[in-house]
Structures are given as structure tokens and as C-alpha cells.
């Protein structure tokens, strides 16, 4: 993938008990910092699926559009170094580029 190519990021997440041990104010601060970074880096939410009541493995599945691989790399740095997401969230991420489904099977 080229650094300037738009990227699609699929993620699967499950909240860890440590997130729920934060006070409500701390949870809100965490989410506000998270959202500010997403917005600053140009993330476009494509879809968010809440599967917490139907899937025992994941709470949420999301699909995001990113302007570039560089933006995704900056996001990953922020998640790891500043948010320290692995303390609060278990997740899996897959990257790719958008493809048309229009001609599939035709």
C-alpha cells in the first residue's frame, strides 16, 4: 500500500474490565481524546456494528476510511503511546483498499 492511497481499516474490539473500572468522567475523557484524534487525522466512519449482545467474542466491529497509510500509522502510534488502548481494549485490525463490488459475479 502506498502512503498516499486511501485506506480502509476494519477493526474488532472488546472492552476490557480495566475500562469499566475507570470513573465515568475518566471514560468520557478517554473517548473525547480518542475522538479528537480520529477527527484530526481525517477518519471517516463507514460503519459501526454493536454486537455486544449477540457475539461472545467482540463488542464492536467497525469500518473506517482513512486518507492515507501515513494517517493510519499516526493513529496506531497515538493508540499505543498516548491512549495505551491495550490496557482498556482488546482489538484486531485489518487494513486494505476499497474495491468495487459492482462487477462481482457478473
Please, which residues have CB within 8 angstroms of residue 52's CB and are 6 or more apart in sequence? 59, 60
SS3 label, residue 13: strand
pLDDT of amino acid 4: 84
**Which residue's C-alpha cell is 476510511?**
65
Assigned fold of 7-96: Alpha-Beta Plaits (3.30.70)
- pLDDT, one tens digit per residue, over 20-69 is 999 999 999 999 999 999 999 999 999 999 998 887 899 999 999 999 99
Length of the chain as a residue count: 106
- pTM equals 0.86
Amino acid at each position: 500500500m502506498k502512503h498516499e492511497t486511501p485506506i480502509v481499516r476494519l477493526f474488532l474490539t472488546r472492552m476490557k474490565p480495566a475500562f469499566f473500572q475507570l470513573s465515568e468522567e475518566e471514560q468520557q475523557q478517554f473517548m473525547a481524546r480518542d475522538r479528537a484524534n480520529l477527527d484530526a487525522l481525517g477518519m471517516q466512519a463507514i460503519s459501526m456494528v454493536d454486537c455486544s449482545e449477540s457475539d461472545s467474542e467482540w463488542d464492536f466491529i467497525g469500518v473506517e476510511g482513512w486518507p492515507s497509510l501515513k494517517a493510519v500509522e499516526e493513529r496506531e502510534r497515538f493508540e499505543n503511546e498516548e491512549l495505551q488502548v491495550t490496557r482498556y481494549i482488546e482489538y484486531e485490525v485489518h487494513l486494505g483498499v476499497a474495491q468495487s463490488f459492482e462487477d462481482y459475479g457478473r
